[in-house]
Structure 1
Amino acid sequence: MEKLNKQDLTNLFQDVRSSYRLLALYQKRLLDLVNYIGNQYSLDFERGGPQFCKAGGNGKYFNLDYSGWNYLVLYFYSFKFSPIRIGEDVYRFRVIHQADTGFYDNGDMKLSKLAIDNFNEVDESETRLFLILCKNDDSFPLKDFLPPHLSKDSNGILKSENGDWVGVSYDMMEFINKEATDKVLRDFNEVIKSTFNIEILKAKEDVVS
C-alpha cells in the first residue's frame, strides 16, 4: 500500500465518508427513477444484475479476493421488468444504468477495467441510462449488443441486427425532474412505435400476469 502520513489519511477518510454518503443518495435517486419509469409503463420490476463485475456475496460467500467493483453493483446494472403482451407478441423492457463511460471511452478493451488508471477523466465521461425493448426474446445479449455502444461517443437509436431489439442511451441529465423524465419516456415510446408499431405507454391493460 502507498505510504500516507497522518494528515493524508485524515483527508482520505473524510473523502471516503463523503463519497459513501453521496453514493447512497445517488443510488436512492436512481432506484426511485427506475421505479418511476416502470410505473409509467405499468410494469413491475422483476430482477436485475450487475454488468461490470459479478456481484459480491455475503456470509460464507463473501470473497476477500474480489475487486472493490464487485461490491458496487449498481455501477453498471440491468433492471429487467415484467413482460408486455400485445397481440401475439411478448415484449421485454429493460433499464440499464451506466454510471461512468470512462473505461469504455479510452478505446482499448484489452486494458484491465478494474484499474481506475485506465479510465478517462471524470469530467470527460458521462453517466447514462439505456432504455431497451425486445420482441419475443427473454434473454438480452448484453455481451454482444451493448459493448460497441458503451462509450460516450455512441448515442442515438441502437438496433440489433435481427431487428428484435431497440434501445436508446440517454444522459442522466435528461432525467433531471419529472417533466424531463416524462419527455424522455414519450421520446422512447415514439422510437418503439416506429420500430415495432406499438406504444407501451398505452399498453397498460395488456401487462402479462
Structure 2
Amino acid sequence: MKLQSLVLAAATALTMTTAFAVPAGTWTVAAGAHYVDPKSDNGDVTIGGTKYAVDVDGDVRPTISGEYFIANNVGVELLAAIPFHHDFTLTNPNDANPLTNTITGKTQHLPPTLSLQYHFDGYNLPMNVKPFVGVGVNYTTFFKERVSAGGNLKLDDSVGVAGHIGLDIPYAPTEAFRIDARYIDIKTDATWNGTDIGEIDISPWVYGVAFVKKF
C-alpha cells in the first residue's frame, strides 16, 4: 500500500500544470547521506531442514544524485552511493538456547536507482518549499556476504520499483537543502552452499538529506 500510494502520487503530479520554475535542459546535483531502514519482517530461510527468521539491520552512507530535466519541472534522476553495510541475524524460533539458535552475518550492497520526477512550483508555499514526487526502478547488487556458521551464503541481485517523495528548501537562486524519502522494493533469492534457501525481503524506506546545486 505504501508503494501504491507513492506511484499514485507521482502519476497525479505528472498530469498537473504549474508555473514552470525548473526549465528543460537544467541539471541538478545533490550530495548528502541516506539511511536505509529495512522492513521489520524480512522473511524466512530454510538451512539444513531448519527454518530461520531473517532480521536485517539498517545503515547510513554518503550518497550523490544527478538529475536532468527533460521537460519543464520534469526530471530524470540517478541516485548512487558508496556501498551500504548490513548486519543480519537468522534466528531459529524453535530453539530457546541463544548460543545455538542464531546465525549472524554481514553483507554489502549498491542500490543505484533511476527515477522520473515531477517538481511542484507556483503554489507560494512557506519558505518557498518545492515538493517533488517520483517513481522509477532500482537495481541492487550484493557482495561480500559473510556468516558466522561457516557456510557460504550468496544473495542474488534485485530489480524492483522505487517511489520517491521530498522537499527542496531553496536558500540561494541555485542552491537548496533537500529532505527526501524513498520506498524501494528489494527482494533477493538466497543460496547456502549452492542450495536455494528462500527469499529475503528487505524492501526498505530510505531517508535522506542533501545539498542541491542547480546548473
> Structures share a fold, TM > 0.5?
no
**TM-score normalised by L of structure 1:** 0.28
- Structure with bigger strand share is 2
The structure with higher relative contact order (CA 8 Å, sep 6+) is: 2
Larger radius of gyration: 2
